[in-house]
Amino acid sequence: MSFDYSEAHSLDNAEMVRLYREAGFGGRSGWGSKPALLVIDLAGAWTAPEEQLGSDVEGVIDATVELLNIFREKDLPIIFTTMAYDPALMEAGPVVTSKTPHSTLMLRDSERVQLRPELGRLDEEPLVEKPRASAFFGTNALSMLIGQRVDTVVVVGVSTSGCVRSTCESAFNNNFHVIVPREAVGDRSHTGHQGALLDIDSRFGDVVDLAETISELKRF
C-alpha cells in the first residue's frame, strides 16, 4: 500500500485515518469509573508568545478553565505540572540541556515555570515539577492517581507534540483510559499539533471534542 506522506497528518485527513485503522490502530478505550484532570505545563514559558518556547494558546487556557470548573464542582482530582530545575541544572543533566537548550531557562521559582494565574490552582491541587516530558517520569503522579482510585485521565495543556503526547503514552502504558479534548491542547506548530493528535488518537487515547468531554463528565 502506498501513501503520500506529504499530506497533513490530521484527524481530518480521511485517507491517513483509514491507513491507521486498517493497520489495527485507533480503537476506542472510552471512560472508566473515575477521572482526573492532568493540566500539562500551562506556565509562563509555554504560554507567553514572546518566550522562546511560547505561543498563543489562549483558547487552550479558556477550555482548560472550563474543565477545571467542572472537576472542582464534582470534587474530582486535578494535578498540574510544570518543568523546573535547580540553578546548577544537575536535575536536568548535560544530555537534556544539550538536546533542548531551552531547558537551561526553566529554573525553579522563576516566572517562566509559574502557572498561569487564570487557572486558579487551589492549595489542595498538587503541582508536580517534572524533569522530563511525561507527567509520570520521575514524579509521584502515578501514586497519587492510584491512591485516589483514578482509572481515567483527561489530559490538557501544552505542547501537544511533546509533553502532552508523552504523558498520554505513559498513562496508556499504566493502563489508564486517556481522554484528550482537542480544544484544550495546543502546540507552537500546527503540523506538530495535528500529527500528534492523530498519533495519540491512534495509539494511546481518545481525542474528542470539548463538548463531548463535558457531556461525559456530567455522569460522575
Q: Is pLDDT of 7 > 60?
A: no
Torsion of CA 185, 187, 189, 191, to 10 degrees: -30
Q: Tens digit of pLDDT for each residue in 73-121? A: 999 999 999 999 999 999 999 999 999 999 999 999 999 999 999 999 9
Report which secondary-structure segment, H or E, holds 206.
strand 206-208
Cα torsion through 77, 82, 85, 90, rounded to 10: 70
**168 catalytically annotated:** no
Distance CA 43, CA 157 (A): 9
DSSP letter at 147 equals H
Q: Beta strands 177-181 and 78-82: pairing type?
A: unpaired
| Ordered structural domains, the chain, with CATH | 29-217 (3.40.50.850)
Kindly report the pTM of this predicted structure.
0.94
16, 57, 79, 163: which is the annotated catalytic residue? Answer: 163
Q: How far apart are CA 213 and CA 37, in angstroms?
A: 11
How distant, in Å, are the alpha carbons of 23, 73, 119 from that of 66?
36, 11, 10
Each residue of 132-144: b (16+ CB within 10 Å) or e?
bbbbbeebebbee
The CA distance from 173 to 204, in Å, is: 8
Average pLDDT, the chain: 94
The answer on pLDDT for 40 being more than 70 is: yes
Beta bridge partners of 154: 37, 179
